[in-house]
Chains A and B, each alone.
Chain A
Amino acid sequence: AQSVTQLGSHVSVSEGALVLLRCNYSSSVPPYLFWYVQYPNQGLQLLLKYTSAATLVKGINGFEAEFKKSETSFHLTKPSAHMSDAAEYFCAVSFRGGFKTIFGAGTRLFVKA
C-alpha cells in the first residue's frame, strides 16, 4: 500500500539552528512528492515539489528537500530557522497514474528564541 510517514509529530529548534523534518514514503511506482506548510487557521501552502527532475529541490522561504530513492525519503531542511517558520508541515505524495494525494500526519515545528 502507498503511504507517507513523517517521523516526529513535534520538532523544536532554536532560532538560527538547522531545521530537519523527516518524511518517508512507500510506493510501487515513481512518486510525486510535496511539502506543504499550514499556519494556524489557514489552508495549506506549497513549499516545494519533486517531479523526477533534480533530486535536490529548492522551495520557498529557504527550504529545500532531497529525494533519495534508495532510502525512500524526502526530508525537508532549512539551514537557519526563523521564528516565522513555526507551523505545521505536511509531507505528501501522489502517484503517476493516480489523482489523489496522500498526506502524512504532519510535524509541528516549534522555534525557540
Chain B
Amino acid sequence: DAGVTQSPTHLIKTRGQQVTLRCSPKSGHDTVSWYQQALGQGPQFIFQYYEEEERQRGNFPDRFSGHQFPNYSSELNVNALWLGDSALYLCASSPQGGYGETQYFGPGTRLLVL
C-alpha cells in the first residue's frame, strides 16, 4: 500500500513565478491537508480539502490556493512567489473527513525561491 506521495521532490523558482505542487493521498483517505515548514520551524497549516472543497484555512494569503480532484489527489498553487515562500511543503492525508484522525505525511516538496 503506497503511502502519501508528493511531486516534485525539489523545485527552484524565481521571485514572481508561480508553482504547482502535487499530492496523492494514502489509499482509502479522502481528506488532504497542506503545511508549510520553514527551515528550523514546525509545520504551519495552510488549508485542508475535503469533498473537493477547501474546508479550513490557516493564516496564509490568497496567493496560496489549492484544488482537490475526484480521486482525492490535490494540488497546491502558489502565485507571485516571494523569497519567504522557500520552505518544505508537506501534504498529509487522513480518512473519514479528517476530524481528529491521524494524518499521514508525505516526504514533502522542497521549494527554493531565488
Contacts and interface: CB of A to CB of B under 8 A. Distances in A.
B7 interface: no
A105 B45 contact: no
B102 A43 contact: no
Interface in B38-81: 40-45, 48, 50, 55-56, 58
A42 B107 contact: yes
**Chain B contact patch, size range:** 20 to 34
Interface size class of A (residues with CB under 8 A): 20 to 34
A105 B106 contact: no
Contacts of A102: 45
B11 to A, nearest CB: 15
The prevalent SS among residues of A at the interface is strand
Interface string A61-97: 0000000000000000000000000000010101010
B104 A46 contact: yes
Given A101-B33, A103-B44, A43 B4 contact: yes
Interface of B: 4, 33, 35, 40-45, 48, 50, 55-56, 58, 90, 92, 98-100, 102-108
Interface of A: 32, 34, 36, 41-46, 49, 51, 90, 92, 94, 96, 98-106
